A and B are shown apart, each in its own frame.
Chain A
Amino acid sequence: GNSVTQMEGPVTLSEEAFLTINCTYTATGYPSLFWYVQYPGEGLQLLLKATKADDKGSNKGFEATYRKETTSFHLEKGSVQVSDSAVYFCALSVTDTGGFKTIFGAGTRLFVKA
């Protein structure tokens, strides 16, 4: 089946710390992988994506590499800011016999302290 597993939060970091949020997936077929971010009081918005193995998605200092061998898509940022405090969702999209599927992880809440 298709599923996404994220590390449980919350994750609390000090400003300028290094961030890693782990995401692993299982999928039938060849999924595209996404990270979405949800700021307080808002809906989700796309942060970055990768559509095939070894692709690296990047945006706003965040990066994630599509690792087919480890079925992972970990989110990283070298130096977080207070404004990065939000909930981060890993997601995959795949076409299977049931049609198009987008599956989200449970989300990881990040708190960044000044």
Chain B
Amino acid sequence: ETGVTQTPRHLVMGMTNKKSLKCEQHLGHNAMYWYKQSAKKPLELMFVYSLEERVENNSVPSRFSPECPNSSHLFLHLHTLQPEDSALYLCASSQDRFPNTEAFFGQGTRLTVV
């Protein structure tokens, strides 16, 4: 248990569906992240939030929409996804957005788009 909880653990959705991934941390961290992990590819940073403000968006398609209502919760809203979006989506948090800060990861949501 790392202190970062993601739900659901598994999700199958059609290309016309709308769904949301949830991430929760009670570690008192200021920064939260969404990563995409695809087979045989480097871990891709999608979004960074610091103190509930989005500070980084790495050219992610608009069909992925993040939301950070408070410092403990982070959502990733999904709509009209493509099969190539199937991947493991990992949430992480850290105390600060500084280079030597450790990130704590959730177990991920395994997303399959059919």
Contacts and interface: CB of A to CB of B under 8 A. Distances in A.
Interface of A: 4, 31-32, 34, 36, 41-46, 49, 51, 89, 91, 93-95, 98-107
Interface residues on B, range: 20 to 34
B100 A93 contact: yes
B103 interface: yes
B2 A45 contact: yes
Q: Which 10 A-B pairs have the closest CB atoms?
A: A43-B105, A104-B43, A93-B99, A32-B100, A100-B97, A44-B105, A51-B100, A32-B99, A106-B42, A46-B102
B42 A104 contact: yes
B7 to A, nearest CB: 13
Contacts of A46: 102-104
Given A45-B105, A89-B43, 14 more contacts: A31-B99, A32-B99, A34-B102, A43-B2, A43-B90, A43-B105, A44-B92, A46-B103, A93-B99, A93-B100, A102-B33, A104-B35, A106-B41, A107-B43
10 contacts: A44-B103, A45-B104, A45-B105, A93-B100, A93-B101, A99-B55, A104-B35, A104-B43, A107-B42, A107-B43
Contacts of B74: none
B99 A95 contact: yes
